[in-house]
């Protein structure tokens, strides 16, 4: 989740850098200079690749650090509590997001039908 937060912030920063590159080369772009256009595009893609690599590295480091901290530091039931509340939060986000998408229109009936079907499927399994 912290990695996701960092990802969002870094995308915003990267887009501002892209905008600076566009502003600096505005005259050349208005002249239809294809080399400048392609250079800006390719540099932006490379910048995004570097950003993604950095966010991934930080995410992996955080995961490794959290593993070290939690494995020795928490009892089994404590670790279970953390796991189930995070799973519950993710299920809540999925459900709330879907309800926001569907709204209060006719698709709500289809959602309810799907819920009933899912409950029946889970019961039978």
Specify the residue for token string 């050349």. Answer: 28
Q: Which residues contact 54 (CB under 8 A, 6 or more apart)?
A: 10
Could you say whether residue 84 binds other proteins (CB under 8 A)? yes
- Residue numbers 5-44 binding other proteins by CB under 8 A: 5, 15-16, 18-19, 21-23, 29-34, 37-38, 40-41, 44
Nearer to other proteins, 64 or 93 (CB): 93
Other Cβ atoms less than 10 A from the Cβ of 118: the count is: 10
- The angle at the Cα of 65, spanning 63 to 71, to the nearest 5 degrees, equals 90
* Residues at the contact surface with other proteins, assessed by CB under 8 A: 1-2, 4-5, 15-16, 18-19, 21-23, 29-34, 37-38, 40-41, 44-45, 48, 73-75, 77-99, 101-102, 106-108, 110-119, 121-122, 125
């Amino acid at each position: 989740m912290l990695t996701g937060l960092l990802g969002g912030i870094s995308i915003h920063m990267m887009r501002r850098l892209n905008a600076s590159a566009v502003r600096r080369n505005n005259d050349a772009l208005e002249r239809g200079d294809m080399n400048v256009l392609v250079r800006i595009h390719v540099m932006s893609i490379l910048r995004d690749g570097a950003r993604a690599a950095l966010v991934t590295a930080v995410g992996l480091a955080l995961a490794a650090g959290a593993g070290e901290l939690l494995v020795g530091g928490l009892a089994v039931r404590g670790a279970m509590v953390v796991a189930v509340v995070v799973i519950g939060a993710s299920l809540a986000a999925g459900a709330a997001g879907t309800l926001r998408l569907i709204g209060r229109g006719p698709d709500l009936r289809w959602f309810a039908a799907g819920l009933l079907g899912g409950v029946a499927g889970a019961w039978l399994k």
